[in-house]
Amino acid sequence: MSGRFAVVGAGVAGVACARALADAGWRVAIHEREPRIGGRLAQCHQEGAVFDYGGQFVRPRDPVLKALLEAGVAAGVAARWPAADRDGVAAYVGRPTMAAPLEALLHGIETRTGCQIVRLSRDGGSWWLEDEGGARHGPFDRVGLALPPVIAGQLLGTVEAPPEALVAATAAAALAPCWALLLAFDPPLDLHGFDARVIDEGPLAWIARNTTKRGRQGRDSWTAHATQDWSAAHLELSPEAVLEQLVPAFRAVTGTADVPFHAGAHCWRQAQVTRALGVAAVHDPGAGLGLCGDWCLSRNVEAAFLSGRALAGLLGEGG
């Protein structure tokens, strides 16, 4: 195969799609609007502390994903995180960042970061992508959109006569927001049992100690995620106003009175799938255009991985 394939979005689904296509012989270019790949597998550094403030871990049940992560462990780009093991299923994290295994998967694939695609068009049977600076990328034989449904729908809206099934799919799925709380302490908190903990009270749904993950060097750092309901009800609050409510909630749950030397909040507006399509991916073979993402299947990293590979199989045939 020697066809040209564009993937828009370099989160888990987009990278999984790109890797599968490249392995099948396609010439792939992946486009990501952010400076770094990874999507919601995000990490930031604040005042000497390291925070995984998006996706926290992967518990793979799919044998392909598990084998990939085990290979990542051997290569030093992934690690086990026993604190998050559940029901006999091992948890893994990227090392030193959650996105490190994705970066390894993109080896040899043309990757354009800081490239926000705002328009799709067809010319003579080929696809062209236009970025926010007006530059055109192409031509491509086929295009896969690995984006949240709202953003994918907006991009489909730039296409003349977009495939109806794809437009309907973006309207059928739903995602909820999530506020993330980032706290760092010095000296470290003297807490046990909170390294990776689901919370069932108040506004918080999850608490994790980032520094218990392999490769996270630095000061004692914590990430907490608010519940879907609380995040939706407080979506338009400022980060400062969110801190006024979530920091006391963190203290109430953990029982600590210590004051963090760093406190921050980040809102993921398209974070948690609340209504999935129930299919692995959506495509229009005549148009050579398709959609993938966790929102096609479920609400976790594995769903995104499976969806990306599924779209590669659907659109990659006959390339």
181 and 260, same domain (yes or no): yes
Residue 78: inside a domain, yes or no? no
The predicted model scores a pTM of: 0.94
| SS3 per-residue string spanning 65-83 | HHHHHHHHHHHCCEEECHH
9 and 20, same domain (yes or no): yes
Q: What is d(CA 261, CA 188) in angstroms, rounded to the nearest whole number?
A: 11
What pLDDT, on a 0 to 100 scale, did the predictor assign at position 200?
75
137 and 269, same domain (yes or no): no
- As for how many domains the chain has, the answer is 2
3-state secondary structure of 207: strand
200 and 166, same domain (yes or no): no
The CATH number covering residue 227 comes to 3.90.660.10
Pairing of strands 289-291, 282-284: antiparallel
101-160 pLDDT, tens digit per residue, is 999 999 999 999 999 999 999 998 899 999 999 999 999 999 999 999 999 999 999 999
Give the DSSP per-residue string, 93-147: EESSSTTHHHHHHTTTSEEE-S--EEEEEEETTEEEEEETTS-EEEEESEEEE-S
Q: What is d(CA 316, CA 308) in angstroms, rounded to the nearest whole number?
A: 11
252 and 231, same domain (yes or no): yes
Over the chain, what is the mean pLDDT?
Answer: 95
184 and 286, same domain (yes or no): no
Residue 300: inside a domain, yes or no? yes
114 and 248, same domain (yes or no): no
Residue 22: inside a domain, yes or no? yes
Residue 69: inside a domain, yes or no? no
269 and 138, same domain (yes or no): no
Which stretches in the chain have pLDDT values below 50? 319
Structural contact between residues 289 and 129, judged by C-beta atoms closer than 8 angstroms: no
Question: 287 is in which domain, residue-wise?
Answer: 4-41+99-173+276-315
130 and 164, same domain (yes or no): yes
What pLDDT, on a 0 to 100 scale, did the predictor assign at position 39?
93
Q: Position of tokens 């080929």?
A: 126
What pLDDT, on a 0 to 100 scale, did the predictor assign at position 83?
94
Q: What is d(CA 135, CA 6) in angstroms, rounded to the nearest whole number?
A: 15
Residue 67: inside a domain, yes or no? no
196 and 310, same domain (yes or no): no
The CATH number covering residue 310 comes to 3.50.50.60
178 and 158, same domain (yes or no): no
What pLDDT, on a 0 to 100 scale, did the predictor assign at position 201?
78
Residue 158: inside a domain, yes or no? yes
Residue 66: inside a domain, yes or no? no
Q: What is the DSSP letter of 45?
A: E
What pLDDT, on a 0 to 100 scale, did the predictor assign at position 60?
96
What pLDDT, on a 0 to 100 scale, did the predictor assign at position 1?
53
Residue 199: inside a domain, yes or no? yes
198 and 254, same domain (yes or no): yes
Task: Locate the DSSP E strands across 113-254.
Answer: 117-123, 126-131, 136-140, 142-145, 174-185, 196-201, 204-209, 220-226
Q: What is d(CA 302, CA 170) in angstroms, rounded to the nearest whole number?
A: 20
